[in-house]
Amino acid sequence: MRFRANLLFRLIGCEMKQFKKMLVGVDLSSGDQIVSDELSAPNHEAVRQAIWLARSNGATIRFCYILDVSPQAQHNIESDEHSAIKLQAQAKLEELVALAQQDGVSADTCIGFGNGAVGVIQEVLRNNIDLVVVGTRHLSAVKGMLMGSTSLKLMRKCPCPVWVVQPDPDPCQSILVAHDLRDVGKYALQLGASMATMQQGRLHVLHSIEVAHVDQSLTNRPDEHSIEQYRTKAEATIQSELADCQFAGDVQVSVVLDRPADAILQYVQQHDIDLLAMGTVGRTGIPGFIIGNTAERLLPQLPCSVLAVKPSDFKTPVSATD
């Protein structure tokens, strides 16, 4: 069955094929251990999914660990070529390389220092990475915050798509694309359709109607006729884009009148969504710093994995040489 899915994926030439150089951000720490003996469940799942996708795409993987330590600790580690921490970290990453190679995937490693998200983005810039894959933890001091700070920073500032993986025994069987009817939403649809094809999963597409979408001059709820006209046009646009990417699987298209963040979260919960694909820069977003208002409100609360994409003109504030 998996062979048939991969064959179909190759035949239709979906957008996931563009991912040729992937980076997996691995957190080897646990508690007060800088290098733990075991990978956490989210990290293990991120590694597993990245190897699967790389094998399907003929892509390479770089396993990257950014040590967030004090400047003094960084100096001590870097100046000692026999540093136990450095050797332990390298050994753990090499285990992941061997795991990838068992599946026929070429892989290498990198170890950096500093802020985790910034270090990953610098690797992206230096090596022309196409996709970043990271795990996240259901741990936060703030109620309702299900996504870690590193994941959120990556989705704010990383120039390439970011796949934040939640531990899931049966991932990506139900995929939701949050489509804003802009180019970035179309790109998210292409990626979501590709993932649904590869996993033989069900594809859902959701567009949330805001008042300004129907009539810029309105401040109250538009009339039902105007809403229905807009809904018909939005559904036709989505169906046309699905036809363009040759998606022939099971799909459900929904156009609702609600605030986007509320609509998406409710849909994820009601339909037991495994993966949400969406653009993360909104109309009022400041490029490279703030993800759109919808994403800012939504992402920390999501219980599912997220594939976040940026518009083609997005500029990251991170420098490769900082």
For residue 12, the domain's CATH number is 3.40.50.620
User: Which of 114, 113, 110 has the alpha carbon at shortest distance from 132?
Assistant: 110
Q: Tell me, what's the pLDDT at 217? A: 47
CA distance 177 to 67: 34
Q: Tell me, what's the pLDDT at 257? A: 86
- Taking the CB of residue 2, how many other CB atoms lie within 10 A of it? 11
Domain boundary among 107, 135, 165: 165
CA distance 272 to 233: 27
Q: Tell me, what's the pLDDT at 82? A: 62
Task: Give me the helix-helix angle, 84-102 and 41-57, nearest 10°.
Answer: 40
Domain extent, residue 40, equals 2-165
Residue 316 lies in a domain: no
Residue 321 lies in a domain: no
Claim to verify: residue 184 and residue 161 sit in the same structural domain? no
- Mention every residue, 6+ apart, whose C-beta is less than 8 A from residue 69: 34, 77, 113
Claim to verify: residue 145 and residue 263 sit in the same structural domain? no
The answer to whether residues 108 and 90 touch, using CB atoms and an 8 Å cutoff, is no
Claim to verify: residue 133 and residue 230 sit in the same structural domain? no
Claim to verify: residue 186 and residue 103 sit in the same structural domain? no
Q: Tell me, what's the pLDDT at 202? A: 93
CB hemisphere CA count around 298 (13 angstroms):
30
Identify the burial level of 291 via C-beta atoms within 10 angstroms of its C-beta, where 0-12 means exposed, 13-18 middle and 19 or more buried: buried
Claim to verify: residue 151 and residue 15 sit in the same structural domain? yes
Claim to verify: residue 121 and residue 257 sit in the same structural domain? no
Domain count, the chain: 2
Residues 118-145 have pLDDT tens digits of: 999 999 999 999 999 999 765 444 444 4
Task: State the sign of the Cα–Cα–Cα–Cα dihedral 237, 239, 241, 244.
Answer: negative
Q: Tell me, what's the pLDDT at 284? A: 41
Q: Tell me, what's the pLDDT at 286? A: 40
Task: State the sign of the Cα–Cα–Cα–Cα dihedral 192, 194, 198, 200.
Answer: positive
Q: Tell me, what's the pLDDT at 219? A: 54
Two tokens at 297? 């409100």
Q: Tell me, what's the pLDDT at 221? A: 61
- Taking the CB of residue 98, how many other CB atoms lie within 10 A of it? 10
Q: Supply the Cα-derived Rg of the chain in whole angstroms.
A: 20
**pTM for the full model?**
0.85
Two tokens at 190? 């292409």
Residue 322 lies in a domain: no
User: Which of 183, 229, 238 has the alpha carbon at shortest distance from 206?
Assistant: 238
Claim to verify: residue 244 and residue 150 sit in the same structural domain? no
Q: Tell me, what's the pLDDT at 65? A: 94
Claim to verify: residue 42 and residue 185 sit in the same structural domain? no
The answer to whether residues 25 and 120 touch, using CB atoms and an 8 Å cutoff, is yes
Q: Tell me, what's the pLDDT at 136? A: 79
Claim to verify: residue 106 and residue 209 sit in the same structural domain? no
Q: Tell me, what's the pLDDT at 218? A: 47
Q: Tell me, what's the pLDDT at 177? A: 96
Q: Tell me, what's the pLDDT at 86? A: 83
CB hemisphere CA count around 94 (13 angstroms):
6
According to DSSP, the β-strands at 131-135 and 162-165 are parallel
CB hemisphere CA count around 14 (13 angstroms):
29
With a cut of 50, list the residues of the chain below it in pLDDT.
Answer: 1-13, 139-145, 217-218, 282-291
